[in-house]
Structure 1
Amino acid sequence: MSRIGKLPVVIPAGVTVEIKDNNLVTVKGPKGTLEKAFATELTLEKNDGEVVVKRPNDNKKEKSLHGLTRALLQNMVDGVTNGFEKKLEINGVGYRAAKQGKTLTLTLGYSHPVTMEDPEGVETVLEGTNTIFVKGIDKEKVGQYAAEIRSKRGPEPYKGKGIKYADEVIRRKVGKTGKK
C-alpha cells in the first residue's frame, strides 16, 4: 500500500471539497477556487471532514496514481487555505527587476530588457530590485512561472551571477589561474 496514498486529506474549516462524476474535484477556500480532473481508475470518497483516495487493485498504473492523486489533492487544499510562494534572487552587477502592472521587466545583462507577463492566477511581488516573490494558489503554476523566470538567466558557477531560487545552492568553480 502506498504510504502517502493511504493517508486521508484533512479538510480544514472554511474549505469545501466537491467530488463530481469522473473524479472532477472542486476545492473552494478563502484564497480562491481550484478545479482538477483526476484519473477515473481511483475512487475518491469524502466523509466527515476528510477525503480518502482508494484504488481497486494493485496494478502498476493504479499504484503509481494512488500517491500522486492524494498529493495533488493535498496541494489543492493547501493552496486555497495558505497559498504557495517561491522566492527568487537576482545576483550580478546591473541585474535588476522592475514591476509595472502585471508586467515584470528584468535587466539581465542582455542588449534588451526581458519582459514577462504574469499568468492567470499567479502574481509576482518585488522586494527591492533583486528579490522576486512568485505567489499563487496553484502549486504547479507557481513553480512553472518561477522556473520560467529563472531560465531567462540561470546562475553561472564562476561568479554566481544570474537568477536563482533563495534556497538553491550554487556549486562554485575555481576560475583560471595565471601563469607563473
Structure 2
Amino acid sequence: MSRIGKKTINLPQNTDIEIIKNNIYITGPKGKLSYQLPEVITVKYNKENQTLHLYKAYKNKEAQKLYGLSRTLINNMIIGVSNGFEKKLQIQGVGYRSQLQGKNLILNVGYSHPVTIEPPKNIIIEVENNTNIIVKGIQKEVVGEIAAQIRRIRPPEPYKGKGIRYLNEKINIKVGKAGK
C-alpha cells in the first residue's frame, strides 16, 4: 500500500494557498491553479510551518486511492506554480526540422506537408537549433500530453532511429535483413 498521502507538503516562500470548503487555490509566480478535493479527503494548512497535510475521512479502499492521488496532484500544482514543468524533445533524421510560427509549432518530418501544432493557452513551446523542442507549462499532465502528441507525429523507428524522441530516450535499434 502506498504511503504517499501521509507525507506533508512544504510550500515555497513565493506561493500562496487559499482553502475554501473542498476547493484549493494555489497562486505562485508562474500562475494560479485550483483543485477540488474529493469529499473523503480533508486538508489542514499550518501557516507557521508553511505545510499542508491531508487526512482521509474513512478507512476504505476508495478513500485510500484518492488520498495518495490528491496529495500528488496538490504537490504537482505547488511545483508548477513555483517552478513550472518542462519536457524536452529531440528530432533526428535527415531533413527533419521544426520551427515556430507565432505560437504554433511547424514540423517537417518526412510527410508531404508540414504538420502544425497549436498549443493550449497555458503552454509555451520553444525551438532550439531546429531539432530541439521544449514544452513548458504549469500543469504537469498538460505538458506531458502535449509532448506526447508531438512525439506521436513521427515516433522513432526501430531500424535507423529517425523520428521525434524525448531527450535522452534510449531507442533499441534492430538489426536489418542479412544480405546474401
TM-score bucket of the superposed structures, by smaller chain: over 0.9
Shift of 1:51: 1.0
TM-score of the superposition, structure 2-length normalised?
0.95
Q: Which runs of 4+ in 1 moved over 2 A?
A: none
Matches within 5 A, 1:105-124: 105-124=106-125
Distance (Å, rounded) in 2 between the aligned partners of 1:56 and 1:41: 5
Q: Tell me, what secondary structure is at the counterpart of 2:5?
A: coil
Matched-pair identity in %: 49
Q: Is 1:74 equivalent to 2:80 in the alignment?
A: no
Q: Is 1:24 equivalent to 2:19 in the alignment?
A: no
Structure 2 residue aligned with 1:11: 11
Question: What do residues 112-158 of structure 1 show as CA deviations (whole Å, max 9, x unaligned)?
Answer: 10001111100101111000000011111100100011110111111
Distance (Å, rounded) in 2 between the aligned partners of 1:39 and 1:95: 46
TM-score of the superposition, structure 1-length normalised?
0.95
Q: Tell me, what secondary structure is at the counterpart of 1:169?
A: coil
Distance (Å, rounded) in 2 between the aligned partners of 1:164 and 1:46: 41
Q: Tell me, what secondary structure is at the counterpart of 1:178?
A: coil
Q: Is 1:130 equivalent to 2:154 in the alignment?
A: no
Q: Flag structure 2 segments of 5+ consecutive residues without an equivalent.
A: none
Q: Is 1:153 equivalent to 2:154 in the alignment?
A: yes
Shift of 1:62: 0.7
Given that residues 85 and 143 in structure 2 are in contact (C-alpha distance below 8 angstroms), is that contact kept between their aligned partners in structure 1? yes
Given that residues 84 and 135 in structure 1 are in contact (C-alpha distance below 8 angstroms), is that contact kept between their aligned partners in structure 2? yes
User: Aligned partner of 2:35: which letter?
Assistant: K
Distance (Å, rounded) in 2 between the aligned partners of 1:30 and 1:80: 6
